[in-house]
A and B are shown apart, each in its own frame.
Chain A
Amino acid sequence: SQQGEEDPQALSIQEGENATMNCSYKTSINNLQWYRQNSGRGLVHLILIRSNEREKHSGRLRVTLDTSKKSSSLLITASRAADTASYFCATDATNKLIFGTGTLLAVQP
């Protein structure tokens, strides 16, 4: 079964807008990772946040983690058409990566 559930399932925005996607998970974790997948390709690692961290930044990406609510969010600022992809959270609670259901982001030029 999926460890993570992402919300929304799909998101459509205009170029330049911010995109926020959320991930909820079920059990305690060591860390949480976010990945991007372009259509027909493999996943690309974006950012990793450890369970003792609350927020992390990488370029236009900002990730937050709330372990008390078992949730994380990924914010992409100033989105570009090239950000169009599926985004997945993944947790490693049991020494294996369990992926969420993914958010399909479409950025309209």
Chain B
Amino acid sequence: KAGVTQTPRYLIKTRGQQVTLSCSPISGHRSVSWYQQTPGQGLQFLFEYFSETQRNKGNFPGRFSGRQFSNSRSEMNVSTLELGDSALYLCASSLGAFNQPQHFGDGTRLSIL
């Protein structure tokens, strides 16, 4: 069974641009969550989608958004990029509930110049 796939692995952008990251979950998994990982703030929850609906949201500004498609693939978008958005963005999938293990991709490393 293929694992969680995130594309691209690395991305360099400049301030003010926008970016879209992609996540393909494990086949059969309907829940996809996104996390931001930085040295200063650690791992922070962005949002979670289940069956194309955002079920939970963390404390991030509206510049961070996401969506999930009918095949459970998910994208997250960050608009008007700021230097502080430089981070490793991780996607995780699970069958559906938070009492189940989350399966993580290797992330997208986003650098803002």
Q: Which residues of A contact B (CB under 8 A)?
A: 2, 30-31, 33, 35, 40-45, 48, 50, 88, 92, 94-102
Q: Which residues of B contact A (CB under 8 A)?
A: 4, 33, 35, 42-45, 48, 55-56, 58, 90, 92, 98-107
Q: Is the CB of B105 within 8 A of A48?
A: no
Q: Is the CB of B104 within 8 A of A98?
A: no
Contact partners of B98 in chain A: CB under 8 A: 30, 92, 95-97
Closest 3 CB pairs of A and B: A42-B104, A45-B101, A99-B43
Q: A44 to B48, alpha carbons, bound, how many Å?
A: 18
Query: B25 to chain A: closest CB distance in Å?
Result: 13
Q: Is the CB of A96 within 8 A of B101?
A: no
Do most interface residues of chain B lie in helix, strand or loop, or is the interface mixed? Answer: strand
> Apart from A92-B99, A97-B45, A102-B43, what are 17 other A-B pairs with CB-CB below 8 Å?
A30-B99, A42-B90, A42-B106, A43-B90, A43-B92, A45-B101, A48-B100, A50-B99, A92-B98, A95-B55, A95-B98, A96-B45, A96-B48, A96-B58, A97-B92, A97-B102, A99-B43
